[in-house]
Amino acid sequence: MKDPALPDRDKAKKLLYEMVRMRRFEERSIESYQAGKIRGFLHVYIGEEAVATGVVGHLQQEDSIVATYREHGHALARGIAAKSIMAEMYGKQEGCARGRGGSMHLFDRSKRFFGGNAIVGGGLPLAVGLALADKMQHRKGVTACFFGEGATAEGAFHESMNLAALWEVPVLFVCENNLYAMGTPIAVELAQKDVARMAESYGISSASVDGMDVLAVAEAAGAAVDYVKQGQPFLLECRTYRFRPHSMFDAELYRSKEEVEQWKQRDPIKLLFNRLDNEQILNAGDLESIEAEVAREIDDAVKYAETGTLEPTSDLLRFVYSEVMA
């Protein structure tokens, strides 16, 4: 397969900026978590940034996104402010979900970002429903649904694929295949290890792409989004890898340090920058400028979160029960 076309300078800087921003945001989140400022669970996306960057870049304002609990990168790429996300992770009411969702349940209706879903495979039926609503109301939107390969073993995956094909809804299924469902390797998890082929039994078109190459992901995602806009579902499998454990509580006893280090040689940020540098599209000065801009943004986000306010206890039942009209 030939290499994807090189972007122009502006597009190249945007792709690099988005991935660096995701990486540094999560690295700072880990520091805050270890300091006890972020509570609950924390699942980081480090190593997989090329997928969210490459796919979300092709979505329009009217399109919807449904993600997993490893969704900070998707939310940032979608345009949810870093300070709003960080405040949410701190549990502050200035967060995108008023501090009620936290790391695993980011939500922003104004951005058509519908989670953050903690249940494995839980976002798939929701995505089909959103796409069906768009179709029934004659809207042009595409719904992009991100999920891990572990979700393909869930009944919800197969039910959603079947209904998407049956109803011919505009949904883009994006499988982030990072080879491990929590601590279970794909080799002992799935009888059919080629996730893209799973779509065939439902009559859904599909493709696989190198999920560590943001240019390849962007090219494949562009074609997939165009296809879905014609009114048919599509499954895009992005073969990627997470550099960190499943979550902050994971002892990571199921894979070797050598395997992780081998995959780090294909770090999506380094792969993109090295190619752009070799082709003289960007240089070290550009990367330093991006890093500085990102550092300022994340510093501001942390300050915003730390000075935010907790929701008062008087609001404990707010949005839980509705008032009955007399």
pLDDT one-digit tens code per residue, 176-208: 999 999 999 998 999 999 999 999 999 999 999
The Cα 102–Cα 312 span in angstroms is 17
Q: What whole-number percentage of the chain has pLDDT above 90?
A: 93
Q: Is the pLDDT of residue 230 over 70?
A: yes
Whether residue 322 is contained in a domain is answered as no
Are residues 218 and 212 in contact, defined by beta-carbon separation less than 8 angstroms?
Answer: no
Q: Mean pLDDT, to the nearest integer, of 119-132?
A: 97
Whether residue 280 is contained in a domain is answered as yes
Tokens for 8, please give them: 């122009």
Whether residue 258 is contained in a domain is answered as yes
Domain that holds residue 206: 9-315
CA end-to-end span of the chain: 67
Q: Is the pLDDT of residue 240 over 90?
A: yes
Q: Is the pLDDT of residue 116 over 70?
A: yes
| pLDDT the model gives residue 133 | 97
| pLDDT the model gives residue 123 | 97
Residues 6 or more apart whose CB falls under 8 angstroms from that of 155 comprise: 121
b/e map 92-114, b = 16+ CB within 10 Å = bbbbbbbbbbbbbbbbbeebbbb
| pLDDT the model gives residue 173 | 98
The Cα 115–Cα 261 span in angstroms is 31
Cβ-in-10-Å burial (0-12, 13-18, 19+) of 81 comes to middle
| pLDDT the model gives residue 325 | 55
Whether residue 1 is contained in a domain is answered as no
The Cα 101–Cα 106 span in angstroms is 6
Are residues 196 and 207 in contact, defined by beta-carbon separation less than 8 angstroms?
Answer: yes
The Cα 216–Cα 2 span in angstroms is 10
Structure confidence at residue 256 as a pLDDT band (50, 70, 90): very high
The partner residues of 35 in beta bridges, in order of sequence, read none
* Count of domains forming the chain: 1
Name the average pLDDT for the chain.
95
Structure confidence at residue 233 as a pLDDT band (50, 70, 90): very high
Cβ-in-10-Å burial (0-12, 13-18, 19+) of 162 comes to middle
Whether residue 320 is contained in a domain is answered as no
pLDDT one-digit tens code per residue, 23-41: 999 999 999 999 999 999 9
Are residues 222 and 11 in contact, defined by beta-carbon separation less than 8 angstroms?
Answer: no
Tokens for 14, please give them: 């945007």
Measured over the CA atoms of residue 128, residue 134, residue 138 and residue 139, the dihedral's sign is: negative
The Cα 114–Cα 130 span in angstroms is 10
Residue with tokens 């094909």: 165
Residue with tokens 């165009």: 226
The full DSSP string for 168-236 is: T--EEEEEEE-SEETTEEGGGT-SS--HHHHGGGGT-EEEEEETT-HHHHHHHHHHHHHHHTTT--EEE
| pLDDT the model gives residue 324 | 63
Whether residue 205 is contained in a domain is answered as yes
Whether residue 184 is contained in a domain is answered as yes
Q: Mean pLDDT, to the nearest integer, of 51-66?
A: 97
- Specify the CATH number for the domain of residue 141: 3.40.50.970
| pLDDT the model gives residue 321 | 81
Residues 6 or more apart whose CB falls under 8 angstroms from that of 126 comprise: 66, 114, 115, 117, 145
Tokens for 257, please give them: 């340090």
What torsion do the CA atoms of 45, 51, 52, 58 make, to the nearest 10 degrees? 180
Note if the pTM is more than 0.85. yes
Whether residue 326 is contained in a domain is answered as no
| pLDDT the model gives residue 322 | 75
